[in-house]
Structure 1
Amino acid sequence: MTLESVIRQFVKEKLELIMRGEIKHFLELEQAGTSNMRNGYYQRNPDTQYGRIEGLLVPRDRNGEFQTQLFAPYQRHTGWLEEAIIRIYQSGMSTREIGKFIERILGNAYSPATISRITDVVKEDIEKWHHRPLSKRYSVLYLDGLYVKLRRDTVEKEV
């Protein structure tokens, strides 16, 4: 058993524990005096920052009124993915490259259109940053360089 699978199992157990507490609280306090009661579980496979959690048991009630506060209905992944995509996009990676990167991490394919919809949230912020007023004076100068060895026909080593 790998460390990643141990962590995913631990997260799964804790999420299920929290949801059992949520439905208990929901039925005892919010549904007191009604005939509503537990009605088993349904399974979800959410993508988290720890990887995909297979077979997460989400409790349900007979009237279908209970909703866990851990994630929204039909939500496949937690908000960490959107934040990561936005940060990667801000650093200059293309939507296709981001899609391939996410696919390598999670095993799920995300189309460039999906990535674009997520990154549309920050396009306005990026535009504002590009057009912000700059100070006339800066106290720090940052230089970056690249050292590449070349070999040509006439010169054996050239930098």
Structure 2
Amino acid sequence: MSTVIQASTEIDLEDAGVARKQPKDIKAKESDRELVARLVDQARAEGVELVGKNGLLGRLTKLVLESALEGEITDHLGYDKHQRSGGETTNSRNGTRSKTVITDVGPVEITVPRDRDGSFEPKIVRKRQCRLSGVDEMVISLAAKGLTTGEISAHLAEVYGAEVSRQTISTITDKVLDGMAEWQNRPLDAA
């Protein structure tokens, strides 16, 4: 309803001959909203669900993660994909490997680029990382509410379709407990 009001106000201002300037961040937000609306409309037209296996959010998450990883390897190697390195380095791209990461929208299978000498260390999804931070926070929150590792595992499977073992959940909560114990036993500053 407020969108309609804003639209009519803009028309009235334009009809009155008043030039209206919008800051860049407002224009960017509007273009983001338009893009999201088009994506959601296209997904609905194709019968794609918002969440779940092969859902729109999972596809977008995959696209964003893979694009970020491509940017990281381009920065690491110093040249874009499908370009020659110019002989500046002996290192080059060496295909990709498949990896499943557990995200807030469920498990997402991504392809991670590799380099020949193995020196590429991705930052967005580190080597051997199988969960993005939101899942850890969710597990901690559920454990703090008194759920057992089995209940947390069942919840993640039911809601997100993510199969997280009891051992993984236990490992996540143990890390937090270790961090808390370390913080509690830290030396205090003299007052």
Regarding TM over 0.5, the answer is: yes
Deviations 1:84-143 (A, max 9, x none): 1111111122222112212323341412x43233223444759xxxxxxxxxxxxxxxxx
Q: Which residue of 2 aligns with 1:74?
A: 128
> Matches of 2:61 and 2:171 in 1, distance apart?
29
Counterpart residue type for residue 9 of structure 1: R
Q: Which residue of 2 aligns with 1:102?
A: 156
Shift of 1:59: 0.9
Change (3 A) 1:89 1:12: same
- Count of aligned positions: 125
Q: Which residue of 1 aligns with 2:49?
A: 2
Q: Give the root-mean-square deviation of aligned CA atoms.
A: 2.6
Unaligned runs of 5+ in 1: 127-159
> Matches of 2:177 and 2:112 in 1, distance apart?
36
Residue 78 of structure 2, aligned match among 21, 24, 28: 28
More helix, by proportion? 2
Equivalent residues of 2:139, 2:172 under 8 A apart: yes
> Matches of 2:150 and 2:94 in 1, distance apart?
43
TM-score (norm 1): 0.67
1:85 paired with 2:85, answer no
> Matches of 1:46 and 1:84 in 2, distance apart?
15
Change (3 A) 1:11 1:99: closer
> Matches of 2:176 and 2:128 in 1, distance apart?
24
Q: Which residue of 1 aligns with 2:116?
A: 62
Unaligned runs of 5+ in 2: 1-47, 80-84, 182-191
Deviations 1:23-56 (A, max 9, x none): 1111118x983211111111111111111112x1
Residue 16 of structure 1, aligned match among 66, 69, 79: 66
Which entry has the higher C-alpha Rg, 1 or 2?
1
Equivalent residues of 1:102, 1:110 under 8 A apart: no
Shift of 1:62: 0.9
TM-score (norm 2): 0.57
Counterpart residue type for residue 126 of structure 2: A
Q: Which residue of 2 aligns with 1:119?
A: 173
